[in-house]
């Protein structure tokens, strides 16, 4: 049976992923509790989970907000996303069954309808479902939760960029992803996912107004010499998040 805490968490999580909660907007635990007609405890527990996942930030006055995005932070998230999402795609490709492939195609059609209607929220929602139907097929217990956290952090920012510049600026590599999945070509599917992420990032890096990051160490963590995940896992939030999720399982 789904708990009230889980219902609140999933609702907030989806709102963050599709960008319904604007970066920088503050709210309190009481606001969330009142919205769902519940006590403070399940609202607080749901918010705490999102803080651990870096989707929300705790402010000094005990309110919360969706963090704003800096160029350095965006580049770090992109670097980790590309490596992990390619890894999941390579693993998932031979495991996808026919019904799942049909579902992926259907979701992509829904995304195209949202694109034609310039509906940013539905576009982002369909894009998220497209990617994660693939990633979940990899049956990863460790990598998938990390990728979900990364998407939570980027979602609100993407909404703002696409709202400002229009979904027509987005590059669609999903057709190439689907073709590779149908062929069972793991590496080509992973390359198409990489191109999808990289093309979207190019548009954002060229047009978006980023916040100035107060933490100069983010620059160092983004610039690992060989493009590996070593710095992100060792020094960054990713190592902290992985440690917390492991502790919660013990």
How far is the C-alpha of 108 from the C-alpha of 115, rounded, in Å? Answer: 10
User: What's the order of all strands across the beta sheet hosting 57-58?
Assistant: 26-27, 64-65, 57-58
CATH class of the region 71-223: mainly alpha
* pLDDT of 151 over the 80 cut: yes
Per-residue pLDDT band at 99 (split at 50, 70, 90): very high
What whole-number distance in Å separates Cα of residue 119 and Cα of residue 49? 29
* Gyration radius (Cα) of the chain, Å: 18
**Intrachain domains 7-65 and 71-223 with the same fold:** no
Q: Which of 128, 148, 131 is nearest to 50 (CA)?
A: 148
pLDDT tens readout for residues 210-248: 887 655 444 444 333 334 443 433 334 344 444 444 444
Alpha helices per DSSP H over 142-184: 143-165, 174-183
Torsion-angle region of residue 155: left (phi > 0), alpha (psi -120 to 50) or beta? alpha
Residue owning tokens 């990489």: 194
Mean pLDDT of the chain: 83
What pTM did the predictor assign?
0.80
Question: Distance between CA atoms of 245 and 36, rounded to whole angstroms?
Answer: 26
Six-digit token pair at 239? 């190592």
* CA-to-CA separations, 172 to 132, 175, 250, in angstroms, rounded: 16, 7, 41
The ranges assigned to domains in the chain are 7-65, 71-223
**Local structure of 70: helix, strand or coil:** strand
| Cα 15 to Cα 134: distance, rounded to the nearest angstrom | 21
Of the two residues 66 and 227, the one the predictor is more confident about is: 66
What confidence tens digit (pLDDT) does each residue in 105-146 have? 999 999 999 989 988 889 989 999 999 999 999 999 999 999
Neighbour-count burial of 70, counting CB atoms closer than 10 A to its CB (0-12 exposed, 13-18 middle, 19+ buried): middle
Q: Is the domain defined by 7-65 classed in CATH 1.10.10.10?
A: yes
- Separation between Cα atoms, residue 247 and residue 242, nearest integer Å: 9
């Amino acid at each position: 049976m789904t708990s009230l805490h889980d219902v609140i968490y999933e609702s907030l999580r989806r709102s963050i992923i599709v960008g319904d909660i604007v970066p920088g907007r503050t709210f309190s635990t009481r606001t969330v509790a009142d919205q769902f007609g519940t006590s403070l405890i399940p609202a607080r527990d749901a918010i705490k989970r999102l803080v651990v996942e870096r989707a929300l930030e705790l402010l000094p006055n005990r309110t919360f907000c969706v963090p704003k995005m800096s160029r350095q932070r965006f580049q770090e998230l992109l670097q980790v996303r590309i490596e992990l999402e390619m890894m999941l795609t390579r693993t998932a490709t031979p495991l996808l069954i026919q019904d799942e492939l049909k579902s992926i195609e259907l979701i992509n059609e829904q995304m195209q309808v949202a694109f034609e209607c310039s509906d940013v929220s539905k576009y982002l929602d369909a894009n998220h479902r497209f990617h994660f139907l693939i990633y979940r097929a990899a049956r990863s217990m460790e990598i998938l939760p990390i990728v979900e956290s990364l998407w939570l952090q980027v979602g609100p920012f993407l909404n703002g960029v696409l709202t400002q510049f229009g979904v027509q600026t987005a590059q669609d590599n999903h057709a190439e992803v689907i073709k590779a999945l149908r062929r069972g070509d793991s590496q080509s599917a992973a390359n198409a996912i990489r191109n999808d992420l990289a093309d979207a990032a190019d548009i954002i890096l060229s047009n978006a107004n980023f916040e100035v990051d107060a933490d100069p160490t983010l620059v160092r963590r983004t610039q690992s010499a060989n493009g590996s995940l070593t710095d992100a896992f060792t020094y960054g939030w990713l190592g902290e998040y992985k440690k917390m999720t492991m502790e919660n399982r013990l």
